[in-house]
């Protein structure tokens, strides 16, 4: 027969594990749906980007060719024998590889003879019938097979002349495709393919990158396509899976920490009803505290991964937020894990002579961003010529971080944080002072108990695990020192960590 304590603990454990399992199932289903919607959105965005890029290429090429034809038309209208002027124009226009000007009756106006077998290529395109079709349409055309452009111009004598020219492939790649596509910001690989699927231009090596989609160019580059390839490792499905693994691991750590906390609390339980309530609060607060930075990291990480932030200053701001929330998450997990080790009697400290000022300033530096964001005035006073003190630097830094975090969390309208470090009565005293909500005298003796939280209404909305000050006291006592508090409601608090200069 189970004792009431055992039954209570089993029910408490079930009450935690069951919701966690439900959350895990719901999270898995949500992630699967998110995976599908993310991939669909990724493809839609890639198609929109590819369409925009293709239009940019066509606009750039059309502008270059229209500029050439405008200058050629100006030459034809001013020169009765335009040979030399056309030669000079071609020398200045590397995009045009070959140019032929053909009169109404099929006679060559420029040059005087076909070159290198071009008659077989250009001849069928510049017949009187083709000129008549072009006159009726009133626009320029591009012949698909050989990428030859035809345009109807006017000579000085008013007679029409058909301009037929072929593009230079290298100039097209370097001055048109590279100019139009080289500066586009995209996590994908863009490539231009000819009618046979050969790569004319690629912004990056394609290698084994999987093809995502392609869009057709219109009349300026007929039969050519702009293809989009997926950068290896940048698949939205892979990104979602990585995040799913991360969240699953975080959930496992959370459940393990909660179970460890319940077991440790159960063994030391004196008042069953009160401790059950405290453990329930602990679970809710730790879950909330861990979930908040995880949600922020996820949101900003997804935004950066999808390439939605193009401004460098904003990207740097997002990176700082992710770093800050990661440090916050580390502190929360360290607090809970250290508390679990303390409860199980497994926590140990390694002391070594440590300079104090760098330790204090380094801990404060970790809070620079939230202090600045929340408008705190920070005052730091470190006595000169402090001796090195034998202590565990990580543990003391963690204790100081908990005191600073509490000062920020329980601040009021006057945002002041003062850190004072000096030697008094043969002890190193590290004091953290705020002008926050303050603590009633009758509760000051209990705030260092595990899981205890001040019961006033103005503090209940400010979540915490309830183990921070218990850790501070344990670290102080493990070093042969103590921690004190001076406080009054509405006037703020002063916590002093007092450590001996020499260990006996």
Helices 4-78 and 236-267 meet at what angle, rounded to 10?
Answer: 160
The H or E element spanning position 100 is strand 96-102
For the chain, give the longest Cα–Cα distance.
Answer: 115
Question: What CATH number does residue 368 fall under?
Answer: 3.30.565.10
Q: Which of 60-64, 214-218, 286-290, 454-458 has the lowest mean pLDDT?
A: 454-458
d(CA 193, CA 214): 9
Query: Do 475 and 364 lie in a common domain?
Result: yes
What's the whole-number average pLDDT of the chain? 80
Which residue matches tokens 């393919």?
A: 193
pLDDT at 209 over 60: yes
Residue 261 lies in a domain: yes
When pLDDT is averaged across residues 451-467 and rounded to a whole number, the result is 58
Query: Do 330 and 359 lie in a common domain?
Result: no
Query: Do 318 and 401 lie in a common domain?
Result: no
Order the strands of the 141-143 sheet from edge to edge.
108-110, 96-102, 160-167, 148-154, 141-143
Q: DSSP string covering 335-397, please?
A: HHHHHHHHHTT------EEE-HHHHHHHHHHTTHHHHHHTT-EEEEEE-TTPPPEEE-HHHHH
166-186: per-residue pLDDT in tens? Answer: 889 899 999 989 988 888 777
392-426: per-residue pLDDT in tens? Answer: 998 899 899 989 988 998 888 899 999 999 999 89
d(CA 293, CA 322): 9
Give pTM, 2 decimals. Answer: 0.44
Residue 119 lies in a domain: no
d(CA 131, CA 99): 16
**How many domains, in total, are found in the chain?**
2
pLDDT at 5 over 60: no
Higher pLDDT, 313 or 5: 313
d(CA 418, CA 316): 29
Closest by Cα among 348, 354, 360 to 430: 360
Residue 168 lies in a domain: no
Residue 65 lies in a domain: no
- Is the peptide bond between 115 and the residue preceding it cis, with omega within 30 degrees of 0? no
For residue 263, what pLDDT is reported? 59
Query: Do 314 and 405 lie in a common domain?
Result: no
Which residue matches tokens 């999987």?
A: 210
Query: Do 320 and 394 lie in a common domain?
Result: no
Which residue matches tokens 């699967």?
A: 32
Residue 295 lies in a domain: yes
Domain finish residue from 274, 309, 343: 343
Domain finish residue from 343, 372, 407: 343
63-103: per-residue pLDDT in tens? Answer: 998 999 999 999 988 887 888 999 999 999 999 988 999 88
425-434: per-residue pLDDT in tens? Answer: 899 999 999 9
Question: What CATH number does residue 249 fall under?
Answer: 1.10.287.130
pLDDT at 253 over 80: no
């Amino acid at each position: 027969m189970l004792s009431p304590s055992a039954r209570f603990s089993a029910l408490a454990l079930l009450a935690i594990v069951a919701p966690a399992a439900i959350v895990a199932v719901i999270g898995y289903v949500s992630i699967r749906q998110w995976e599908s919607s993310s991939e669909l959105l990724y493809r839609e965005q890639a198609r929109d980007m590819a369409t925009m890029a293709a239009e940019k290429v066509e606009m750039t090429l059309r502008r270059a060719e229209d500029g050439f034809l405008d200058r050629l038309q100006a030459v034809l209208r001013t020169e009765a024998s335009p040979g030399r002027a056309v030669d000079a124009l071609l020398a200045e226009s590397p995009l045009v590889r070959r140019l032929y000007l053909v009169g109404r009756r099929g006679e060559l106006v420029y040059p005087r003879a076909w070159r290198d077998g071009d008659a077989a290529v250009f001849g069928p395109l510049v017949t009187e019938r083709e000129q008549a079709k072009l006159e009726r349409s009133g626009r320029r055309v591009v012949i698909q097979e050989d990428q030859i452009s035809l345009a109807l111009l006017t000579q000085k004598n008013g007679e029409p002349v058909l301009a037929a020219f072929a593009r230079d492939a290298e100039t097209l790649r370097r001055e048109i495709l590279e100019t139009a596509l080289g500066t586009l910001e995209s996590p994908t690989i863009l490539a231009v393919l000819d009618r046979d699927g050969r790569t004319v231009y690629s912004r990056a090596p394609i290698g084994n990158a999987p093809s995502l989609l392609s869009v057709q160019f219109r009349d300026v580059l007929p039969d050519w396509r702009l293809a989009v390839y997926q950068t290896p490792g940048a698949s939205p499905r892979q990104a979602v899976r990585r995040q799913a693994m991360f969240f699953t691991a975080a959930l496992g750590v959370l459940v393990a920490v909660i179970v460890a906390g319940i077991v440790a609390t159960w063994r030391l339980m004196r008042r069953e009803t009160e401790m059950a309530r405290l453990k329930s609060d602990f679970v809710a607060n730790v879950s909330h505290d861990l979930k908040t930075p995880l949600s922020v990291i996820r949101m900003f990480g997804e935004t950066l991964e999808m390439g939605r932030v193009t401004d460098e200053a904003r990207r740097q701001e997002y990176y700082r937020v992710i770093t800050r929330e990661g440090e916050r998450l580390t502190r929360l997990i360290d607090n809970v894990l250290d508390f679990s080790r303390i409860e199980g009697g497994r926590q140990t400290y390694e002391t070594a002579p440590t300079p104090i000022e760098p330790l204090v300033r380094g801990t404060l530096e970790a809070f620079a961003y939230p202090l600045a964001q929340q408008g705190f005035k920070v005052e730091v006073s470190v006595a000169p010529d402090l001796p090195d003190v034998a202590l565990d630097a990580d543990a003391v830094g963690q204790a100081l971080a908990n005191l600073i975090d509490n000062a920020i969390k329980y601040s009021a309208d006057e945002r002041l944080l003062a850190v004072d470090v000096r030697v008094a009565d043969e002890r190193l005293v590290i004091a953290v002072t705020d002008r926050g909500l303050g603590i009633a005298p009758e509760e000051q003796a209990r705030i260092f108990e595990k899981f205890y939280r001040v019961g006033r209404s103005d503090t209940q909305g400010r979540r915490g695990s309830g183990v921070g000050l218990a850790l501070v006291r344990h670290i102080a006592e493990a070093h042969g020192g103590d921690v004190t508090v001076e406080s009054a409601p509405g006037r703020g608090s002063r916590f002093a960590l007092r450590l001996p200069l020499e260990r006996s």
